[in-house]
């Protein structure tokens, strides 16, 4: 997808970033930006000017807390835009290796983080069932989970 196609796709989805006045309210409000390289204003700017935003790793540092979106004086749907750009990126085969790996674990085990003995022990200490009521407890449900994931082509996206 070309850079201008990204902007067009966003605009067709009702996500207009071109009214951004680069005030920086978003980045100064961003809790993630205090601990990561994420600069929300820069992401918006890059999208406006057609920078190669799909390969910007900062896209994945957003926690989707929506603080920026609530505070933007231009009412730009910033978090929704970041989510939409991520969706475009994934459909173009672009995602962080760690995310791809976690997604493949979901496909294989029905869990992003499969349970291990340490976690079982901690659950027991908390007087919880050591095995959560998920596919770990009902392994026969794993096939259903996999069918659902394959039916929306999740397996192809994370292959």
In the complex, least distance from residue 2 CB atom to ligand SF4, rounded to whole angstroms:
23
One of 9, 16, 29, 106 touching ligand SF4 (CB under 6 A): 29
The whole-angstrom separation of Cα 12 and Cα 96 is 26
In the complex, least distance from residue 70 CB atom to ligand SF4, rounded to whole angstroms:
9
Could you say whether residue 72 binds ligand SF4 (CB under 6 A)? yes
Characterise 131 by phi-psi region: left (phi > 0), alpha (psi -120 to 50), beta (else): beta
The whole-angstrom separation of Cα 91 and Cα 70 is 28
Q: Which is nearer to ligand SF4, 75 or 129 (CB)?
A: 75
Number of CB atoms found within 10 A of residue 88's CB: 17
Could you say whether residue 138 binds ligand SF4 (CB under 6 A)? no
In the complex, least distance from residue 111 CB atom to ligand SF4, rounded to whole angstroms:
25
Q: Which is nearer to ligand SF4, 31 or 93 (CB)?
A: 31
Asked if 60 and 96 count as a contact pair (C-beta separation under 8 A), the reply is yes
Could you say whether residue 84 binds ligand SF4 (CB under 6 A)? no
The whole-angstrom separation of Cα 43 and Cα 37 is 11
In the complex, least distance from residue 83 CB atom to ligand SF4, rounded to whole angstroms:
9
Could you say whether residue 70 binds ligand SF4 (CB under 6 A)? no
Q: Is 89 exposed, middle or buried (0-12, 13-18, 19+ CB in 10 A)?
A: buried
């Amino acid at each position: 997808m070309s850079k201008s196609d990204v902007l067009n796709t966003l605009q067709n989805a009702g996500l207009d970033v071109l009214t951004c006045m680069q005030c920086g309210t978003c980045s100064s409000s961003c809790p993630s930006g205090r601990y990561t390289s994420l600069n929300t204003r820069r992401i918006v700017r890059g999208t406006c000017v057609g920078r190669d935003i799909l390969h910007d790793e900062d896209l994945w540092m957003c926690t989707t807390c929506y603080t920026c979106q609530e505070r933007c004086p231009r009412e730009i749907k910033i978090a929704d835009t970041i989510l939409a750009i991520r969706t475009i990126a994934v459909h173009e085969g672009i995602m962080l290796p760690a995310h791809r790996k976690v997604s493949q674990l979901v496909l294989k085990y029905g869990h992003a983080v499969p349970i291990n003995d340490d976690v079982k022990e901690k659950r027991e200490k908390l007087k919880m069932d050591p095995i959560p009521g998920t596919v770990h407890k009902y392994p026969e449900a794993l096939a259903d989970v996999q069918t659902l994931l394959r039916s929306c082509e999740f397996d192809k996206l994370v292959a």
